[in-house]
Structure 1
């Protein structure tokens, strides 16, 4: 990085890999330098970015030098081509406990220009509400809110002989929703899921389980199914249709 500038730091996909946010998503090295230190020449496999506020976004102690995790996330957001990628970067950072929605919001406020700003601002409200993956965000928006179902408690923590996490807990109605993306639900995760679901059933809680196919592909059917279970468990409200093509009756 020294041939770019003595103040240059790893950023974007390179910093994300160094911090464990992502695996290898780009074979090129990404470096950010101050706008006042334009690099002379080019190097194969190196992408140079420039920033006005690099002293603020530079991590004070990380070695090799790189951007702070919040700025790394927002850098990836700024160059993301798809909304789904934006969701993944933001929720992954919080899910892995590398940062918080509050710190991401503060970093976002310091930026004058960034792509997908409105989407990220909306997402951070939902992430602060407990949604920790694109699948959980989709359930919150397209199933629960869109059909006016009761508000669930997301990522609730139950402690007994062992700590368990519940994706969406409608505790008042003794109903839980588990959202199975691949991460955390393979290998040993499958056995933890079984123990948690069985323990919930013993305690009187019913568990509904959905994956990407149902939540992204059939949110209205999922909402109708949830509404029926919630009504059976004491909910006195009624779901609403989310649009003209909604299948809820």
Structure 2
């Protein structure tokens, strides 16, 4: 649990409670009783405690995906925090989240697979048949599904299979990747995506991200 208090207030340490002190505590409260932070300021408090940019990105993506706060609200609150940790890198993350990346894995796919290899920009969160596809490459009929969780529950596994089957019935190919695929083997994922895209456009350009990258 994260709790923000006025800078000079003293409280006893409690197990599993992270205390954050703020000199401008009173200026960043929502107009509710009992007093509490605005959603955007609450997110930025946790971002400021995040050890890495990935952790900060995950906090922002999950908060916005929940619907409790919008990227534009976080961006507005960010303008008032010139010394916030990771501040310089947060605006591009907010832009990507606003465009439809709803998790850290989706942000990493966008950065490490799509952009670093010069692939076309996919459509995020396309609505189809009452659900949303993570990434859809319009004109190429390719769906990329991203899931960072390990599904040991049969119902979830069967739901994923059903989504893939229905995509096939729409004449769409599906590539599905997990956390290890995108963080550990992004070049191989990019090559697979490129091969499917080139079925429609054989001369589609891409670029290797380094000397050993298999993308050509």
Aligned to 1:19: none
2:12 aligned residue (43, 54, 57):
43
Q: Distance in 2 between matches of 1:216 and 1:157?
A: 26
Give TM-score, length-normalised by structure 1: 0.78
Query: Which residue, 122, 135, 143 being the options, matches 2:92?
Result: 122
Asked if 2 retains the 8 angstrom alpha-carbon contact of 1:58 and 1:67, the reply is: yes
Alpha-carbon separation, structure 2, partners of 1:92 and 1:187: 24
- Structure 2 alignment gaps of length 5 or more: none
In structure 2, the partner of 1:53 is 24
RMSD: 2.2
Say whether residues 1:213 and 2:180 are aligned partners. Answer: yes
Q: Distance in 1 between matches of 2:200 and 2:66?
A: 34
Change (3 A) 1:128 1:229: same
Q: Higher Cα Rg: structure 1 or 2?
A: 1
Q: Secondary structure at the match of 1:154?
A: strand
Listed as ranges, the matches of 1:1-249 within 5 Å are 13-14=1-2, 30-33=3-6, 35=7, 38-39=8-9, 42-45=11-14, 49-61=20-32, 63=34, 65-159=35-129, 163-182=130-149, 188-234=155-201, 236-249=203-216
Number of positions where the alignment pairs a residue of Structure 1 with one of Structure 2: 214
Q: Which runs of 5+ in 1 are unaligned?
A: 1-12, 15-29
Q: How far apart, CA to CA, are the structure 2 residues paired with 1:62 and 1:176?
A: 45
Distance 1:156 1:184 in 2: 23
C-alpha deviation, 1:185, in angstroms:
9.2
Distance 2:145 2:4 in 1: 40
- Structure 1 residues 184 and 137: CA distance shift in structure 2, 3 A: farther
Distance in structure 2 (CA, Å) of the matches to 1:219 and 1:97 = 29
Q: Partners of 2:80 and 2:118 in 1: how far apart?
A: 34
Q: Is the 8 A contact 2:20 2:45 kept in 1?
A: no
Task: State the Cα deviation string for residues 208-240 of structure 1 (Å, max 9, x = none).
Answer: 001111111111111111100110133641211
Structure 1, 217-226 or 50-59: larger mean CA deviation: 50-59
User: Could you report, residue by residue, the CA deviation over 1:121-144 in whole angstroms, capped at 9, with x for unpaired residues?
Assistant: 121111112111111011101111
Distance 1:116 1:92 in 2: 17
Contact kept? 1:173, 1:235, Cα under 8 Å: no
- Check whether the contact 1:74–1:108 (CA below 8 A) recurs between aligned residues: yes
